[in-house]
Amino acid sequence: MIPKVNLPADARLDTLAVREGLPATPWGENSEALFLTSSFVHPDAATAARRFANEEEAFVYSRFGNPTTMMMERRLAAMEGTEACIGTSSGMAAIMITLMALLKSGDHVICSQSVFGSTIKLIQSEFGKFGVQSSFVSQTDPAAWAAAVQPNTKLLFAETPSNPLTEVCDIAALADIAHRAGALLVVDNCFCSPALQQPIKFGADLIIHSGTKYLDGQGRVIAGAVCGSTELIEGKFVPVMRSAGMSLSPFNAWVVLKGLETLGIRMRAQSASALALAQWLETVPGIDRVYHPGLASHPQHALAMTQQSGQGGAVVSFIVKGGREGAWAMIDGTRICSITANLGDTKTTITHPSSTSHGRLTETQRLAAGVVQGLVRVAVGLEDLDDLKADLVRGLQAE
Ligand SMILES: *Cc1c(COP(=O)(O)O)cnc(C)c1O
């Protein structure tokens, strides 16, 4: 039996973020240890046999169990309010293990048409090859999801808020549709993280994370995780991990583990800066439209405030004049923002979604997702807000 940390049962998110994990080793280290070991040693052959047969809980091999990875999993599960979590080598690996664990040939998935581009490719092309059917529907219209349900529907897949337009879907409404169809609801919680949104509270069954984003929070590693019930994680996901091996490296798990300690404080600060920037952008001449869930002008503002602890998140998108050329000139005119499609960093990033994150989609798919050529996305970091405003002004003047 692997012991637990002795925490009060009512410990809150910011406390869990710093304290949940595994008890310290006999050396009494205060910062969590990094266990860089591929395998674990057993006291004798009989114990080894029991551990391999899952009759005794212990660490065996880091492809499917490592103390540092387990600390990250326990901490993230506690923060999401789920029983269990499994770390994966990337956010995409988290989605892949979910599809592998829950689907077979002939099954049907309903997915928002506004999810991460690689998620659409993975479901439609890669799993389509193995006979998994899929329908892509409106992010914001639960009736469209209900209408897409088929007798073989096993999974509903949502991401909220979406990238880059921050469209919000109604998690409780989708959970209801999924459960009435005997299916499960999976929510990609990348953009809010558990610091702002806990999808399990609204009825989601599984929560996907790209640890690469806000969980690490400083743009250092690629990592992922799936959170859910012990029944699903232990019963369906761990066996796939054991045979398929999309494992999270202990080093990357340690970086995410330490990143989680500052998640709450970072998310609140970056979200507040993003809202201030969005409100200011709405007053800047030459900007056609600004997208941020914290704006009163956002079409799902009220729903977002309910689901996201009253906060909009750190991503702001806006449409500049002049299409692709206008957007590229604006991006190239900035000096502080990093030109990269990544997000969830303390460094503010700026990107042109239609030629980067959404570049592999067809123009029709892009327009269905609302990703026009003039759209620019900023993922706000921790720089001084006035310096960021000045940087965007520099960009707009170059446009
Ligand atoms: C980045 C991202 C992913 C994929 O995560 P990786 O760690 O890059 O594999 C999945 N979903 C969303 C919403 C993302 O932003």
Predicted pLDDT at 80: 98
Check whether residue 274 and residue 250 sit in a common domain.
no
Check whether residue 342 and residue 206 sit in a common domain.
no
Tokens 């600004």 label which residue? 290
Check whether residue 141 and residue 203 sit in a common domain.
yes
- Whether 213 and 76 have beta carbons less than 8 Å apart is answered as no
Atom of ligand 1 nearest to the CA of 93: 9
Check whether residue 139 and residue 169 sit in a common domain.
yes
Report yes or no on 289 lying in a domain.
yes
- Rounded to an integer, the average pLDDT of 147-161 is 98
Predicted pLDDT at 367: 84
CATH code assigned at 372:
3.90.1150.10
Residue 61 sits at φ, ψ, to 5 deg, of -155, 135
Domain extent for 18: 13-260
| Among 92, 187, 356, residue to substitute to test ligand 1 (most atoms within 8 Å of Cβ) | 92
Residue-wise pLDDT for 255-286, tens only, equals: 999 999 999 999 999 999 999 999 999 999 98
The pair of structure tokens assigned to 283 is 């007053």
Name the nearest CA neighbour of 57 among 3, 7, 101.
Answer: 3
Does residue 189 line the site of ligand 1, with CB under 6 A?
no
* CA triple 308-80-202, angle to 5 deg: 55
pLDDT beyond 70 at 108: yes
Residue-wise pLDDT for 309-362, tens only, equals: 999 999 999 999 999 999 999 999 999 999 999 999 999 999 999 999 888 778
Check whether residue 64 and residue 190 sit in a common domain.
yes
Predicted pLDDT at 79: 98
Report yes or no on 7 lying in a domain.
no
CA of 116 to the centre of ligand 1 (A): 7
Nearest CA to ligand 1 atom 4: 91
Does residue 199 line the site of ligand 1, with CB under 6 A?
no
Round to the nearest angstrom and report the end-to-end CA distance of the chain.
61
- Whether 73 and 86 have beta carbons less than 8 Å apart is answered as yes
CA of 3 to the centre of ligand 1 (A): 32
Check whether residue 241 and residue 346 sit in a common domain.
no
Amino acid at the residue 320:
V
Domain edge (last residue) among 260, 283, 311:
260
Nearest CA to ligand 1 atom 5: 91
Domain edge (last residue) among 203, 235, 260:
260
Does residue 379 line the site of ligand 1, with CB under 6 A?
no
Nearest CA to ligand 1 atom 2: 210
Atom of ligand 1 nearest to the CA of 343: 15
CA of 91 to the centre of ligand 1 (A): 5
pLDDT beyond 70 at 179: yes
Nearest CA to ligand 1 atom 8: 91
Nearest CA to ligand 1 atom 15: 190
Check whether residue 165 and residue 273 sit in a common domain.
no
Predicted pLDDT at 157: 98
pLDDT beyond 70 at 75: yes
DSSP string covering 81-103: T-SEEEEESSHHHHHHHHHHHH-
Residue-wise pLDDT for 120-153, tens only, equals: 999 999 999 999 999 999 999 999 999 999 999 9
Does residue 89 line the site of ligand 1, with CB under 6 A?
no
Predicted pLDDT at 399: 66
Does residue 91 line the site of ligand 1, with CB under 6 A?
yes
| Among 89, 121, 210, 215, residue to substitute to test ligand 1 (most atoms within 8 Å of Cβ) | 210
Predicted pLDDT at 256: 98
Cα R_g (the chain), whole angstroms:
21
Percent of the chain with pLDDT over 90: 93
Report yes or no on 90 lying in a domain.
yes
Check whether residue 315 and residue 173 sit in a common domain.
no
CATH code assigned at 164:
3.40.640.10
Check whether residue 212 and residue 283 sit in a common domain.
no
Amino acid at the residue 250:
P
Atom of ligand 1 nearest to the CA of 224: 7
Nearest CA to ligand 1 atom 11: 116
Nearest CA to ligand 1 atom 10: 91
Does residue 190 line the site of ligand 1, with CB under 6 A?
yes
CA of 210 to the centre of ligand 1 (A): 5
| Mean pLDDT value across the chain | 96
Give me the number of domains the chain comprises. 2
Domain edge (last residue) among 233, 260, 287:
260
Check whether residue 127 and residue 36 sit in a common domain.
yes
Alpha carbons 338 and 218: distance in angstroms, whole number: 13
Atom of ligand 1 nearest to the CA of 212: 7
Helix axes 385-398, 323-332, angle to 10 degrees: 130
Report yes or no on 4 lying in a domain.
no
Report yes or no on 151 lying in a domain.
yes
- Rounded to an integer, the average pLDDT of 58-70 is 97
Report yes or no on 127 lying in a domain.
yes
Report yes or no on 230 lying in a domain.
yes
pLDDT beyond 90 at 369: no
* CA triple 36-42-48, angle to 5 deg: 120
Report yes or no on 24 lying in a domain.
yes
